[in-house]
Amino acid sequence: MIEQQPRTNIVYESPPPTGLLELVPKRLAIAAGVKVFGGGLTPEGTQALAIGLGKILRREPINPGDDIYPVYQDAIAFQIEGEENIPRSGATLFIGNHDTHPLLASMVQFIEGARIVNNARVDVQDSVMRESRIIMQRGIRTKVKLLGLSLGTHTVPFSEAFYFMGANSLNFVIVDRPKHDEAEQVVNKQHMPKGLAEEIVAGQALFIYPQGKKGSGLNMPDKSGFIAKMRKFDVNVVGVLFERGEPGDPFRIAFGKPTHIQDLLVNEAGEPNLNHFAQQHLAPLQSANRRFRITT
């Protein structure tokens, strides 16, 4: 295996085991990855996915533009608006919704957003600092059904290992999956990695997505606390709206005008009011003929 220099100073406290995946022959692991992640791709996209998975398995750095964009460019159409609102440099938090979509688009809507931001951050000289970071959950969860009855969910085999290695290759961030209460709000800490705040303050860009459901409190302890910590520093905040259209329509990504983090409405603990942010910075970006979805 090729050893690569770490792209960040972040140390993950409890990474998922990848040893078992590393025992699987590379060709078999790539074939499994293409099976899980490759639905709906063109033959060219499937080939690009296999090449990218090979780089991930070898722990080689990849980026959304050169390595991931060729995977989905012929399979999913995107409509991008508000690129002029993306800061050309500096510490920036992109806070947005995440719309439901089939697996492929659910993943690449975020990667496409990062690709657009990376291209816009033209005043950042350091190639790693220019790359936006995205918070990813550990693995893919899928529903288990028997005779039409739901038996809960389980993690797709090897998906945690793929996600962890993919996050390292892409310079993304791994956190635990959220747990929800009866009101479907996040109640657990997702273990945001130590050192992330320092990297953002140093000039990095990070995408954060609310994960509450059904539009109530949009509570997410770790992420809200992280944003509150950022209020001590000079950080721009940009709302980004992801909108799914009707079948055949392009997936729309719209960036709003930046605001300073100290201008966000917060509670007594200094944590951001995400519902207020969504209504002030995301709702105005929605299309007239599309339903506004803050969360999945």
Query: pLDDT tens digits, the chain, 296 residues: what are they?
Result: 344 566 787 777 666 666 767 778 889 989 988 987 888 899 999 999 999 999 998 889 999 999 999 999 999 899 999 999 999 999 999 998 877 666 676 778 889 999 999 999 999 999 989 999 998 877 776 777 777 777 677 777 777 877 888 888 899 988 887 777 776 677 778 788 888 999 999 999 999 886 555 444 555 667 788 888 899 999 999 999 988 877 778 889 999 999 999 999 888 877 888 888 888 898 899 887 665 554 43
Contact 12, 192 (CB under 8 A): no
User: Cβ neighbours of residue 7 under 8 Å, at least 6 residues apart?
Assistant: 61, 128, 168, 171
Contact 256, 285 (CB under 8 A): yes
User: Cβ neighbours of residue 181 under 8 Å, at least 6 residues apart?
Assistant: 187
- DSSP H helices, the chain, are 19-23, 26-37, 43-57, 69-72, 103-120, 127-130, 159-170, 196-201, 221-230, 274-277
With CA atoms as reference, report the closest residue to 136 among 162, 102, 116.
162
227 three-state secondary structure: helix
Residue 3 pLDDT: 46
Angle at 274 between CA 276 and CA 14, to 5 degrees: 175
User: Cβ neighbours of residue 120 under 8 Å, at least 6 residues apart?
Assistant: 83, 86, 87, 88
Domain ranges of the chain: 77-285
Burial class of residue 182 (count of CB atoms within 10 Å of its CB; 0-12, 13-18, 19+): exposed
Ranges assigned E (strand) in 158-271: 173-175, 205-208, 236-243, 251-255, 259-260
How far is it, in rounded angstroms, from Cα 99 to Cα 39?
A: 18
- Categorise residue 51: left if φ over 0, alpha if ψ from -120 to 50, beta otherwise: alpha
Contact 210, 281 (CB under 8 A): no
Angle, helices 43-57 vs 159-170, to 10°: value is: 80
Query: Strand 236-243 relative to strand 259-260: parallel, antiparallel, unpaired?
Result: antiparallel
